[in-house]
Amino acid sequence: MKKRIMVVDDSRVLEYQICKLLEDSDYEVVAYCENGEEAIARYEEVRPDIVTMDIIMPGIDGLEAAQIIAEAHPNARIIMISSLAYDDTIHEAETIGAKLFLYKPIDRETLLSALDQVLREDEAVEPTGSAT
């Protein structure tokens, strides 16, 4: 079964790009949200395996939305995807529980390895003795 991705970005172009990049992969986009408010609400119903989160959006921005989702769901896997490259933004993204930070434009290899990585990190903390 494919892993389910929820894309959050105020530009739907990014969703099209990610859908395209994920063709013939183990991942699929199952939901798209255009702002932070929507992301917080839809996370509850969609329960995606991974969220990709833009930073700059009208209203609740991606950092705030990621923080709210991560507080309510400590196991949420959130990858920030932004064209912003300032160090303090990366640091802030890490402190609120984002697992990874990618820069636009993204390519297939970078995206797939980021998605694989956040799933692997979870496996690594599972109790020893579980099936590998």
Does 10 help bind Mg ion (rule: CB under 5 A)?
yes
Structure tokens, 90: 């990366």
List of E strands, the chain: 3-8, 27-33, 50-53, 78-82, 100-103
For Mg ion, the closer CB: 15 or 49:
15
Binder of Mg ion out of 31, 53, 54, 79 (CB under 5 A): 54
CB 2 within 8 A of CB 27: yes
Q: Scanning the structure block, which residue is given the tokens 């990858």? A: 79
Smaller CB separation from Mg ion, 49 or 54? 54
Site for Mg ion in 82-101 (CB under 5 A): none
Whose Cβ is closer to Mg ion: residue 31's or residue 63's?
A: 63
Closest distance between Mg ion and the C-beta of residue 56, in Å?
Answer: 4
Can you tell me the distance from the alpha carbon of 10 to that of 54, in angstroms, rounded to the nearest whole number? 8
Question: Contact region for Mg ion (CB under 5 A) — 31-39, 41-49, 52-60, 68-76?
Answer: 52-60
Q: Which residue has the tokens 């494919």?
A: 2
**Would you tell me which residues interact with Mg ion (CB under 5 A)?**
10, 54, 56
